[in-house]
Chain A
Amino acid sequence: MSEAVETTVDEQDIDLTGANQILDKYVDFHGALMPALQEIQEFYGYIPEPTVHLTAERLNIYTSQIYGVLTFYAQFHLKPRGKYIVRVCMGTACHVKGAGRIAETIKDRLGIVHAETTEDLKFTAEYVACIGACGMAPVIMVNDGTYGSLTVQKTDEVIQKYLKMD
């Protein structure tokens, strides 16, 4: 179902200057919604709710319509995301080779499942379909780094490595 996002208190305090500057480029320019949202996401790391209302107001598009777009495309994130995005491949090859256990391990160590973020905003887990490295299944990616032929123990090592980094 949809991610029903509640506005958190800190979201109210979000500095909209960045979003305003981005939107400056897109007012008076038809069909600007997608690129504007992409840039906003790049800037904030996700799409904070106040920027959605701002976008609605400045581009004169219904908030509901923007929400429709945001929930339709998987590329948009409505919640803050961690510094490290842990993509767990759930494609066929990885599935057969035990992706379930890998996901379990991550849940166990970091306390997050698909689309969840740790409270300290360090990790976000995402379950994805084949990432094209079936030869080394099961595979995870942490940001741009790929880790293959994983076991529970190897997964643990990867997690520990990132836990130690800022």
Chain B
Amino acid sequence: MVNLTIDGKQISVSKAATIYEAAQEAGIHIPVLCYAKKLLPYGACRVCLVEIEQMKGRLIPSCTTPVSEGMVVTTTSEEIKKVRKTVMEFLLVNHVLDCPVCDKGGECDLQDLAYELDSTSNRFEGEKFDLPTDEVNPLIERNMNRCVLCGKCVRVCDEIVGYGSYSFINRGFETKIATAYDRGLNCEFCGQCLSMCPVGALLPRPFKFKARPWQLKEVDSVCGYCGNGCTVTLGVLGDRVETIRFNDKIGVNDGNLCIRGRFGYSYVNDQERLTKPLVRKDGVLVETDWDEALQVVSDGLLKAQGGQGVGFLSGARLTNEEFYLLKQFAKTVGTENVDHSGGECYKGVTEGLKQTLGVAASTATFPQIDKADVILAIRSDFYETHPVVGMVVNQAIRRNDAKLLIVADKKGKLNKLPGAKTLLSKPGLELDVLNAMAKVILDEGLAQTEGVEGVAEFQASLANFTPEKVAARSGVDAEALQAAARQLASAKQGVVLLAYGLPYQGLNKELATAAANLAILTGIPGREGGGLYLCGEKSNSQGAIDLGILPQNGGLGAQAMLAGASNGKLDALYVVSEDPLSSYPDRDKVAQALEKVPFLVVQDIFLSPTAQLADVVLPAVSFAEKDGTFTNAERRIQRVRPGIPSPGEARSDGAIFSALAGKLGNNLSFTSAAAIFTEIGKDVPAYAAIGFNELGAHGKVWGGETLSPASRKLVAVGGGTTVEGEFQLVVGSALYHSGTVSTKAKGPLAVLSEAYAELGREDAKDLNVAEGDLLKISGNGAEIKLKAKVDNRLPKGVVFVPYHFADAEVNRLYKGEPAVSVKISK
């Protein structure tokens, strides 16, 4: 600690603090413009100048100057004011003063400063900028006439996002912020830059002229898309979410969001939302009231349960409380056939981690990734599935020199991070690469085997996984593989990352087991700082596992339910918040099940392709209307709060289950989400320790920041198999989308509106294919047509298709395997 005096106040702060931070802690206000808490000190604007008694004669920028013992600081004096005012005058020489039509009005640092410094006149006169505003991109309006050159956008896009859209160009008066070749912005559209801009130079275009900031009601909730669990603060006007507000005070994401979280909200306001229940009469779905709909559903379920039985297929975007009610409702109906997310993709957690570590969750929290020294990312899609964790990885590397290792079948953004070492493997053979790394670690005596079970058997199982053999099969360089293994073994705080989700169905249990084996051998699980992370695709994927939305006590899993529905072994399917027809692998299998099953209920917010086949459609609500909790991929339980009323007669999933259970004689009505949360604790011990009302600004992590594994058991897993054929199709998530719901959201759609088939340049050349050409892709007995996208992410022979778009029907080809052998022609 260091003691100093600021404006006569005695203060004691950590010696790493700057004067500005010390003043803030003491509640003393110093104006700033280019300073941002999450960025490295910069010191460009000189608005934050202060006087230091020990350095008389000049003014010192408080935002970059560290405190030192005995410092005596003055933050306001006539001279300081004069200098700040001059700085302001310089800024305002060229700045257009179009505050009346600027959306930043009311929360603009420049306005506030002018007000604070009483800057009404300007001694300097100059040309006002007259630069064209960037109208090219759909989401971020750039008006460089308002820019004050604080550099925050440049810095955040580099330091945090790792994309690097902007830089300062030209010199002198002509200096400005621009993209390469000063063209329109074409990037990830995460919007970090606009969240940092102190003025109205960068603004969210979808929010243009919608409201003044003070008119908005702000509601803190959790993003409804992925398992990252970012805090989103809904900006509500009337009954609409009009924007997502910047908020770095709460949650786990430091105010960072991806395009989905920041710009993907519009679907909640969509006109096409379901507002009334629908019942099929004479073959068509017609609107009805809840009384009739609930009656039809309960009659249908009772009848089915009296016959061959009922099955529940759930998505992973319900709240924990809703999952609880779903489970109770299924019990009321008398069935154990309950599953979520297609029943396969999460098995890495429920089976892979369970059999090795004895837990079914990530072992550590996201902030620990920041402190890691070695990070192993398995399947490079991680950045695309969980972009904000990707940003943490970027910071760990850029700021703390972490080393990044990647084992994947294609390149992605992670590969471009400084010093990243990529082991590019043939699709499906990542597993072999992990096994070979484990072998190297064991054979070279680098393994931590104390208290580890099954070492001898495991080592014996690896005979076929020498680096050389695996190199020959997978295409990975043997020496690079050995080096990576040694690096991971040397980690003091290692991190292993693996994302899962509907488009990554193949070899989940095996990959997770192999990842856990590696983690165990390198001492990662249970050690403070670092951990093994299995991150689910949806906002409450972890909650679904925790709450047991899984086939238990002999119940059928999702795939068995679909098979049963097809061959007369199941009489009803109840689908909640999921569109299996569009998103599950093997569309034909799903279609057959949905068509054959005698009674189909679909509960959702849109009339999805699945819902169109239903006998009854129940209108549910979006995350922005829900009250309860989500558990993110690091086990953090966070509050979801309703920002807007539900449209029409739509009801929350929980309310629907309670009503139906009530009809069947089971009283499941609770007074509040808090009351249900308490009930959950009785079923799920890890949740019992946590009080609903204690879920503060950063939620609560069940099991503690570092989860101690119940076991450390190495389990042998065989290798993957090479897919024969000239081309191998891999499906996955695209950065801009999440599941199918984002395809109803204007922001993500504005950037990516349809599926595509991505090829590497070499293949494109061989096939004589150019960007945008229509390609025929056939395999697994089906053919689809997609536009080509050509870049340098994919190795020869691999073609990638994002799975989000229902009309692309990629799941006619993809049946759950790690890669599909396909033919491609023009």
CB within 8 Å of B: which residues of A? 1-2, 4-5, 49, 52, 57, 60, 62-68, 71-72
Q: Are A62 and B164 in contact, CB atoms less than 8 angstroms apart? A: yes
Which of A2, A5, A57 contacts B174 (CB under 8 A)?
A2
Q: Are B182 and A66 in contact, CB atoms less than 8 angstroms apart? A: no
Q: Which residues of A contact B167 (CB under 8 A)?
A: 62, 64-65, 67-68
C-alpha gap A5/B176 in the complex (Å):
16
CB within 8 Å of A: which residues of B? 131, 158, 163-171, 174, 176, 178-183, 416, 418, 792
A66 and B174 in contact (CB under 8 A), knowing A60-B416, A72-B169? no
Which of A4, A57, A72 contacts B181 (CB under 8 A)?
A4
Q: Are B170 and A71 in contact, CB atoms less than 8 angstroms apart? A: yes
Q: Are B178 and A62 in contact, CB atoms less than 8 angstroms apart? A: no
In whole Å, how far is B145's beta carbon from the nearest beta carbon of chain A?
A: 13
Q: Which residues of B contact A1 (CB under 8 A)?
A: 131, 170, 174
Q: Are B165 and A64 in contact, CB atoms less than 8 angstroms apart? A: yes
Which of B163, B178, B416, B792 contacts A2 (CB under 8 A)?
B178
Q: Are B178 and A67 in contact, CB atoms less than 8 angstroms apart? A: yes
User: Chain B: interface secondary structure?
Assistant: mixed
Q: Which residues of B contact A72 (CB under 8 A)?
A: 168-171
In whole Å, how far is B192's beta carbon from the nearest beta carbon of chain A?
A: 15
Which of A5, A57, A67 contacts B169 (CB under 8 A)?
A67
Q: Are B169 and A4 in contact, CB atoms less than 8 angstroms apart? A: no
Q: Are A67 and B181 in contact, CB atoms less than 8 angstroms apart? A: yes
Q: Which residues of B contact A49 (CB under 8 A)?
A: 181
In whole Å, how far is B234's beta carbon from the nearest beta carbon of chain A?
A: 32
C-alpha gap A5/B164 in the complex (Å):
20
What are 10 A-to-B residue pairs whose CB atoms are below 8 Å? A1-B174, A2-B169, A2-B176, A4-B183, A62-B158, A67-B178, A68-B178, A71-B171, A72-B169, A72-B171
C-alpha gap A52/B167 in the complex (Å):
15
Known: A64-B164, A71-B171, A72-B168. 10 other contacts (CB 8 A): A1-B131, A1-B174, A2-B170, A4-B181, A52-B180, A57-B792, A62-B165, A62-B180, A64-B167, A67-B167
In whole Å, how far is A96's beta carbon from the nearest beta carbon of chain B?
A: 25
* A-B CB proximity, top 3 nearest: A62-B164, A68-B167, A63-B180
Chain B residue nearest to A78 in the complex (CB)? B181
In whole Å, how far is A74's beta carbon from the nearest beta carbon of chain B?
A: 8
C-alpha gap A57/B411 in the complex (Å):
13
C-alpha gap A4/B174 in the complex (Å):
13
C-alpha gap A76/B416 in the complex (Å):
26
Q: Are B164 and A71 in contact, CB atoms less than 8 angstroms apart? A: no
Chain B residue nearest to A73 in the complex (CB)? B171
In whole Å, how far is A28's beta carbon from the nearest beta carbon of chain B?
A: 11
C-alpha gap A133/B113 in the complex (Å):
50
In whole Å, how far is A121's beta carbon from the nearest beta carbon of chain B?
A: 21
Q: Which residues of B contact A57 (CB under 8 A)?
A: 792
Q: Are B416 and A66 in contact, CB atoms less than 8 angstroms apart? A: no
Instruction: Give the one of A60, A64, A68, A72 with max B CB within 10 A.
Output: A64
C-alpha gap A52/B180 in the complex (Å):
10
Q: Are B168 and A68 in contact, CB atoms less than 8 angstroms apart? A: yes
Chain A residue nearest to B179 in the complex (CB)? A64
Chain B residue nearest to A4 in the complex (CB)? B182
C-alpha gap A67/B181 in the complex (Å):
6
Chain A residue nearest to B180 in the complex (CB)? A63
Chain B residue nearest to A67 in the complex (CB)? B180
In whole Å, how far is B400's beta carbon from the nearest beta carbon of chain A?
A: 19
In whole Å, how far is A23's beta carbon from the nearest beta carbon of chain B?
A: 15
Q: Are A60 and B178 in contact, CB atoms less than 8 angstroms apart? A: no
C-alpha gap A156/B707 in the complex (Å):
84
Q: Which residues of A contact B169 (CB under 8 A)?
A: 2, 67-68, 71-72
Q: Which residues of B contact A64 (CB under 8 A)?
A: 164-167, 178-180
A66 and B180 in contact (CB under 8 A), knowing A60-B416, A60-B418? yes
